[in-house]
């Protein structure tokens, strides 16, 4: 099971909604958001466990993804386990500052050619996403830079789209047929 932690303040549910919509189609997800715990779809076996937290948790003996919101409470960078992959908006200087001086290879999402993932094109129903550098999936497989298509069932915020694609790619889902969520 992959742990997905969305960390930070703010009332935006865009990242939660996009991740739940996608992860429910790609292995299923248990979510813990606020005071609510749900399964999507309803099943005992889910591939993902999603948390939305505004206080940094004590993480022990597990792996997963740490997705930074734009605003969050500061914490000691030593609390980020080695087996968690940080994902952040390339304009999130607070998250970049926290990660500076660590050995964490972060996945950056944005519009720059320096970002790990960016949007090559976007319309109402389809996005073309560019993986712009080599990344290592959880199974240690190296994934080469390439473009892939995402079919969207509803309007999706760009950062939420990129974060979701990062989680799927690094969770070893193949992009050859693209994604749909």
pLDDT class of 71 with cuts at 50, 70, 90: very high
Query: Are the C-beta atoms of 139 and 110 separated by less than 8 Å?
Result: no
User: Which is the CATH superfamily of the domain at 2-109+157-176?
Assistant: Mur-like, catalytic domain (3.40.1190.10)
pLDDT digits (tens, 9 = 90+) for 129-162: 999 999 999 889 999 999 999 999 999 999 999 9
Per-domain residue ranges for the chain? 2-109+157-176
- Average pLDDT of every residue of the chain: 95
Task: Return the pLDDT at 80.
Answer: 95
Measured torsion, CA atoms of residues 180, 169, 108, 58, in degrees rounded to the nearest 10: 110
pLDDT class of 11 with cuts at 50, 70, 90: confident
* Global confidence as pTM: 0.95
What average pLDDT does the segment 29-33 reach?
95
Helix (H, G, I), strand (E, B) or coil at 18: helix
pLDDT digits (tens, 9 = 90+) for 52-67: 999 999 999 999 999 9
């Amino acid at each position: 099971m992959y742990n997905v932690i969305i960390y930070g303040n703010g009332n935006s549910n865009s990242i939660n909604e996009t991740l739940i919509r996608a992860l429910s189609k790609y292995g299923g997800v248990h979510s813990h958001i606020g005071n609510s715990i749900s399964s999507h779809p309803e099943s005992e076996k889910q591939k993902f466990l999603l948390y939305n937290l505004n206080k940094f948790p004590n993480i022990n003996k597990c792996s997963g993804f740490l997705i930074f919101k734009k605003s969050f409470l500061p914490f000691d960078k030593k609390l980020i386990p080695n087996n968690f992959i940080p994902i952040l908006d390339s304009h999130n200087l607070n998250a970049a500052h926290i990660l500076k001086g660590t050995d964490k290879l972060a996945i950056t999402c944005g519009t720059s050619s320096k970002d790990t993932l960016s949007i090559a094109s976007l319309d109402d129903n389809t996005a073309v996403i560019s993986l712009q550098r080599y990344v290592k999936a959880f199974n240690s497989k190296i994934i080469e830079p390439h473009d892939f298509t995402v079919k969207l069932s509803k309007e999706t915020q760009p950062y939420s789209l990129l974060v979701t694609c990062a989680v799927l790619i690094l969770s070893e889902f193949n992009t050859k047929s693209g994604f749909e969520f």
